[in-house]
Every structure is written in C-alpha cells, then in structure tokens.
Amino acid sequence: MPDFPWPAGSATGIGSLPGTDIDEAQRIVFGELPLLPHLAELPGRGPGADMIGRGAGFLVELPVQLYAGRWQIASRPGKDQRRTADLLERDLDQLTEQGDGFTGTLKVQATGPWTLAAGLDLPIGGRLLRDPGAVRDLTDSLAEGLRRHVADVRKRVPGATVLLQLDEPSLPAVLAGRVPTESGLSAYREVDGPDAATRLRTVVSAVEVPVVVHCCAPSVPLQVIRDATASAVALDLSLVKDLDPLGEAIEAGLGVFAGAAPSTGTTRPDAKAVAERVSTLWRRLGFPAARLPEQVVITPACGLAGASPGYARAVLTAITEAGRRISEV
C-alpha cells in the first residue's frame, strides 16, 4: 500500500466556512483540525470569494471579469480580478500567521479545470466547455497558476507538507453531457472519460504535490479520478449507491476523504455515530481495520458555507473526535 500524505486518523474540512472574518476562520481551522488543517474559504464575502471567481483567479494570462452576474473570459485584467487577488492574498497572509511553526500536512483548495470550464463564459457567449481548444488552454493556465500557488504556500509555511484539493462538483455533469447551454433548451456535448482524466492529470502533474479530487455530487467518476493519478477522492458518503467501484478504487490504493457528517444542521453531530458510519462502510467493503485510519480522512459531507458559525465549529470538532475513534479500533 502507498504511504498516504496525511497522519493516521486525520479529519479535515472541505474548505468553505460561514462568515466573512478570515482571521477567525483560519484560527478555528488550526484549532479544530490539528492533524490536517486547510486554507479557509469564505464565499460569503461575495464575488472573487465564490468558487468560480476564486478558481479563475489562479489562471495565468487568462483574465476574467464579471458580466451580468457571471464570470467570463476578459481581454485584460480589471477590478474584478484585482478584488479576487486581494481576497486570496489576505487569506494567505492569515494562513502564514496562523500556520507559523506548523510542521504537518496542510491542504489548500482550488476549483478544477472541468468545473471552471462549465462555469466560465466565453466573450462571444456560451460556456468555455463548448470549445475543446479553450478547455486545453484553460487547463494549461490553471496548472501553471496552481504550481505557483503551491510554491507560494510552501514558502509561507515551510514546515508543511502541502496537499492540493481540486473541487470538481460539475465533473459528473460534464461527463454525462448534462451541462445546460445558455438557453437551457439543450446541453453541451459529453466529454469522454480519458479526455477528462488527461486534463485533470495535467494539473496533477504540474503541482508536484499529492492531489485530492473533491466531488460532492452523485455518480463520482472514480475511474477518471484514478486515471488522473490523484492520491485521493473526496465524496459525500450519503450519495454513494454502488460500493463496488469504491472498493476497487480503495484496493488500488486511492485515499478516501469520507464525507460522513452533515454540512448543515441544528444539533451537534455525534462523533461516535460519525466514526461508526465510516467503520461500518469499511467493514462492508471487506478491508482490514488497520488500513482504515491510514487510507481514510473524515470530513463533512461538503463545504460549510451554508452552516451557522456554531454548527460549523461543532462539526469540525466532531469529525476530529471521529478520526481519533477510528484510529483506536
């Protein structure tokens, strides 16, 4: 089995948190997720902190702008791009401060190429997804931007082992040809699995750190993620209907970030129940108990931007306790 780039019994967040105070958010992350903290994301701050805007901010020599409430490719950088860069810089400054002296595994997140292609508009109209050449250029640009981003994080937190999470919620729709056109009357052509894997692998190869592909949608394409040479998949356990592909991926050495606690709620998740949910699935798959805390990281089902601040903190506490529980079995 491979050596996984996180401590046994780890828990982590998907990325997003509620609110607009990055100082407080990053402090909570390091406090509640000591084994595998992450760069906090606060989409509640508005444009530039949202998934597509923030992800597009990593593109190199491919500027974007907001037009009629949507992000589109632009002819030159403008105020929208500057706002995105300023927000990220502020977040990284807080990461540098809170991560001073940290020597463990640290996760950063970015929107993946297929979700960006499905969410960004071309200047002439339509999603970038419609143009395979544009998708290739986008992927190359993103790969270089994320290579630089990871290098920057390594300089800021020199004792950390960096892990990159690529957020790909649109990937199943891209593969199935279910991304709607602007009119909503049709959809863009489906992308085949090998092509999807090739684009993802371009990013994975460029960043030179382990990559987790996150998809909290149904029908996570595990074979595509494996073919992209990702180290792990992050998914919502409640959406997993067919266990055989997951078992095959685990057997092949893919790590699993198991979304086992609800992302929203009014009562604190029970750490024992979260741990038991993961352990029960592992037993059903037939794998040795000793491999569970090494190969699996416990997470919320998805991001926590829609949760109350109290619940968000409580769920991070609960998954950390659940991680301890599965490592004691």
User: Looking at the predicted structure, is the pLDDT value of residue 9 above 80?
Assistant: yes
Structure tokens at 21: 């105070």
Containing structural domain, residue 155: 22-327
Q: Is residue 244 part of a domain?
A: yes
CB 121 within 8 A of CB 70: yes
Q: How many domains does the chain have?
A: 1
Q: What is the pLDDT of residues 63-93, one digit of tens each?
A: 999 998 999 999 999 999 999 999 999 999 9
Per-residue DSSP letter, 128: G
Q: Is residue 91 part of a domain?
A: yes
Average pLDDT for 90-116? 97
Q: Is residue 14 part of a domain?
A: no
User: For residue 297, what are the β-bridge partners?
Assistant: 257
User: For residue 38, what are the β-bridge partners?
Assistant: 107
241 exposed, middle or buried (CB, 10 Å; 0-12, 13-18, 19+)? exposed
* Residue count of the chain: 329
Q: Is residue 1 part of a domain?
A: no
Alpha-carbon distance of 92 to 96, in angstroms, equals 6
Q: Is residue 183 part of a domain?
A: yes
* Residue given tokens 């009562």 in the structure block: 267
Q: What is the pLDDT of residues 283-317, one digit of tens each?
A: 999 999 999 999 999 999 999 999 999 999 999 99
User: Looking at the predicted structure, is the pLDDT value of residue 1 above 60?
Assistant: no
- Label residue 3 by pLDDT band (50, 70, 90): confident
pTM of full prediction above 0.95: yes
Q: Is residue 10 part of a domain?
A: no
101 exposed, middle or buried (CB, 10 Å; 0-12, 13-18, 19+)? exposed
Please give the single-letter amino acid code of residue 253: G
Q: What is the pLDDT of residues 185-216, one digit of tens each?
A: 899 999 999 999 999 999 999 999 999 999 99
Q: What is the CATH number of the domain that holds 232?
A: 3.20.20.210
Q: Is residue 7 part of a domain?
A: no
Q: Is residue 5 part of a domain?
A: no
